[in-house]
């Protein structure tokens, strides 16, 4: 008997890919209208999953995809139209398949029931939904010339849309034939007329026929705008406008049967081209674990390279310009160059476009918008920006939290937006880009902004601040209270957000990645979160500092500047040590005090101080000695040590000793409690 377990991994990978493709395509069709290519992609995905599921013995997955495939075939043939209701049903099918996927991954058994979805998919009403009845009324009995279809396709490539327009004249209209002519002329003013039956209607009107005519037009205006304009025309009683698509128009052409055959052939040809194109791509799939292992080996080489450099320096100091030491230096330099190139190559392999993360959001925003009764446009920019795969996995949850907050609390209801003179449709933007060897991710909305005074009042009511402390806060510091645990200005708690338990976790998560987050908000205009992340978490540049004979590493991405201070420059305000650097008052703490080391540093004549930053705020860390910076490989502390506040991990130095890497968010929290 054939053992199928060896194909399980391949099946799961294909399942993930096809489910993602289906979700993306349904969303695209729902937003932009169906297209022949989109329906075909969706059909192919369902067909592929049906085949592979049958081969693997997953019956429920096979039956679900088979029934989806059946409906899609009818949509492709022009018998059905992919309405919003049908798109929603497809989304439910994809969700159930994801559930089945989890069950298969956990126990190789499909448990979830699919009968309810099969019942919905098999309903006859998809071919005669109310919307379809309207559609058939607009395009019934029409034989569209092939030239008209080609004209529509040509014009739609420039972003325009095709619409059926049906205009009814009032009974009081006395010169109906002339009025229909005028309608045709007026339509030509803002649209390209592809087809119309107005000539036939004019003849029938002269014989007391129906006083209405139909047009197929191509325009870049919206249905609402056109309807408003047309209803202003004299003698117009009613107008029906509905967007059409290539699938429908193709079915109406005189040579539709032949076209279907050509379509199938072109689809096969297109698929074949795609396969050929894929076969030309010089790439292979590699298990992520193997990449992780490769990265670990490169990390070990980086440590050895640092140690060799250290040994070379020691020998040089001990034996001077010995010929063998010079040879060792040359080999060391060559070794450094090769490892640098190797490291860069492995890093590139681990880099993925952030599109993989961004693609999860459109569906989420759609569902949230519908559940909240809001109309929201999600704009994704910079999807090609590359980021280490570990960071892409880590940043997902913080971004989801920010987006849910933006939809729930940021964007106002359509009524509230109307009152403020804003368009009904709100906008949420996510933008990614590279900036100064970092990745900048911006999450913004055009909603109501954060009310700093409400935050202050809430903080006072919860006794998180005293009145005098609240009075001293700047506007920016008041807005930053949103990151305080348990603080929310939401008027009601929903299952989406509002408990005030998320923003502090968002900031803590970003700081654990050695990143930073800051807010810009304007009341009534919107809020923007700027997140800065290092390109990778595997190997970073760190500043080595010495504290009580121990070496610590501060990630360079957190270092704002380094200064040396005289002891007398440190002053105390209400018992809190502070320093003034370029007119900015900065709290200072001795790193030794954070970890309970001895106070031998206090005897130094000049105190090395590292200024670290969190958003606009600055903090000063006094250390015993600065040792310089170098590339370090981040290692976990292991389960035995567990998590230690203020420590992000460890690394091995060139001398073979272990140094702890500081987690700046934790250090700042420790400073706040000191």
Cα–Cα–Cα angle for 297, 434, 351, rounded to 5 degrees: 30
Close Cβ partners of 136 (under 8 Å, ≥ 6 residues apart): none
Q: Concatenate the DSSP letters of all residues of 122-181 into one string.
A: T-GGGGS-HHHHHHHHHHTT--B-HHHHHHHHHHHTTT-EEEEEEEEE-TT-S-HHHHHH
Close Cβ partners of 650 (under 8 Å, ≥ 6 residues apart): 634, 635, 636, 637, 658, 659, 660, 661
Q: Which of 34, 69, 248, 663 is catalytic?
A: 69
- DSSP three-state, residue 10: helix
What is the four-CA torsion angle of 629, 630, 634, 638, rounded to 10 degrees? Answer: -70
69 is annotated as an active-site residue: yes
Taking a C-beta distance cutoff of 8 angstroms, is the pair 160, 220 a contact? Answer: yes
Taking a C-beta distance cutoff of 8 angstroms, is the pair 547, 624 a contact? Answer: yes
Q: Which of 14, 20, 47, 73 is catalytic?
A: 47
Instruction: Lay out the sheet containing 658-662: strands in order across.
Output: 625-633, 539-547, 550-555, 658-662, 647-652
Taking a C-beta distance cutoff of 8 angstroms, is the pair 378, 416 a contact? Answer: no
Q: Is 467 exposed, middle or buried (0-12, 13-18, 19+ CB in 10 A)?
A: exposed
147 is annotated as an active-site residue: no
405 is annotated as an active-site residue: yes
Which has the closest alpha carbon to 650: 551, 558, 515? 551
Q: Which of 405, 409, 558, 663 is catalytic?
A: 405
Q: Whole-angstrom Cα distance, residue 541 to residue 632?
A: 6
Taking a C-beta distance cutoff of 8 angstroms, is the pair 242, 216 a contact? Answer: no
List, by residue number, the catalytic residues: 47, 69, 405
């Amino acid at each position: 008997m054939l053992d199928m377990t060896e194909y399980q991994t391949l099946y799961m990978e294909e399942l993930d890919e096809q489910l993602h493709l289906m979700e993306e395509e349904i969303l695209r069709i729902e937003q932009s209208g169906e297209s022949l290519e989109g329906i075909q992609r969706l059909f192919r995905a369902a067909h592929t999953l049906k085949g592979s599921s049958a081969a693997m013995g997953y019956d429920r997955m096979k039956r679900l995809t088979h029934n989806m495939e059946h409906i899609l075939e009818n949509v492709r043939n022009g018998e059905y139209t992919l309405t919003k209701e049908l798109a929603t049903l497809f989304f439910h099918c994809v969700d159930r398949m994801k559930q089945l996927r989890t069950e298969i991954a956990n126990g190789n058994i499909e448990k979830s029931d699919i009968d309810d979805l099969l019942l919905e998919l098999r309903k006859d009403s998809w071919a005669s939904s109310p919307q379809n009845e309207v559609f058939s009324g607009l395009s019934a009995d029409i034989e569209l010339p092939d030239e008209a279809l080609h004209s529509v396709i040509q014009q739609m490539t420039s972003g325009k849309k095709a619409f059926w327009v049906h205009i009814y004249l009032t009974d009081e209209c006395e010169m109906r034939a002339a009025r229909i002519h005028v309608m045709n002329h007026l339509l030509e003013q803002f649209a390209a007329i592809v087809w119309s039956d107005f000539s036939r209607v004019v003849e029938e009107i002269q014989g007391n026929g129906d006083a209405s005519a139909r047009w197929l037009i191509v325009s870049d205006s919206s249905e609402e705008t056109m309807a408003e304009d047309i209803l202003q025309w004299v003698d117009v009683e009613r107008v029906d406008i509905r967007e059409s698509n290539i699938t429908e128009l193709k079915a109406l052409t005189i040579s539709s049967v032949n076209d279907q055959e050509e379509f199938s052939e072109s689809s096969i040809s297109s698929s074949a081209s795609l396969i050929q194109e894929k076969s030309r791509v010089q790439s292979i799939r590699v298990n992520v674990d193997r990449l992780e292992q490769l990265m670990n080996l490169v990390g070990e080489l980086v440590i050895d390279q640092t140690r060799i450099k250290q040994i070379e320096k020691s020998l040089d100091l001990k034996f001077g310009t010995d010929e063998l030491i010079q040879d060792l230096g040359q080999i060391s330099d060559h070794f450094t160059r090769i490892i640098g190139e190797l490291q860069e190559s492995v890093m590139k392999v681990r880099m993925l476009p952030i599109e993989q993360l961004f693609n999860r959001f459109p569906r989420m925003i759609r569902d949230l918008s519908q559940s909240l009764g809001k109309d929201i446009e999600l704009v994704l920019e910079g999807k090609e920006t590359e980021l280490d795969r570990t960071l892409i996995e880590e940043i997902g949850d913080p971004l989801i939290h920010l987006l849910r907050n933006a939809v729930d609390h940021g964007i106002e209801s359509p009524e509230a937006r109307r009152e403020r003179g804003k368009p009904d449709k709100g906008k949420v933007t996510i933008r990614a880009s590279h900036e100064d060897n970092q990745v900048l991710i911006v999450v913004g909305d055009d909603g109501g902004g954060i009310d700093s005074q409400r935050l202050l009042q809430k903080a006072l009511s919860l006794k998180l601040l005293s009145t005098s402390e609240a009075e001293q806060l700047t506007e920016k510091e008041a807005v930053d209270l949103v990151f305080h645990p348990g603080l929310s200005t939401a008027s009601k708690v929903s299952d989406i957000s509002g408990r005030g338990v998320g923003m502090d976790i968002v900031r803590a998560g970003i700081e654990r990645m050695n990143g930073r987050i800051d807010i810009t908000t304007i009341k009534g205009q919107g809020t923007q979160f700027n997140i800065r992340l290092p390109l990778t978490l595997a190997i970073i540049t760190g500043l080595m500092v010495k504290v009580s004979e121990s070496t610590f590493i501060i990630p360079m991405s957190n270092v704002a500047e380094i200064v040396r201070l005289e002891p007398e420059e440190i002053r105390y305000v209400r018992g809190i040590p502070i320093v003034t650097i370029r007119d900015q008052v900065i709290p200072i703490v001795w790193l030794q005090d954070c970890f309970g080391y001895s106070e031998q540093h206090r005897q130094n004549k000049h105190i090395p101080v590292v200024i670290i930053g969190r958003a606009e705020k600055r903090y000063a860390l006094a250390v015993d000695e600065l040792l310089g910076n170098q590339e370090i490989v981040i290692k976990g502390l292991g389960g035995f040590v567990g998590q230690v506040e203020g420590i992000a991990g460890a690394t091995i130095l060139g001398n073979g000793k272990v140094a702890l890497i500081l987690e700046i968010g934790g250090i700042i929290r420790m400073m706040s409690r000191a």
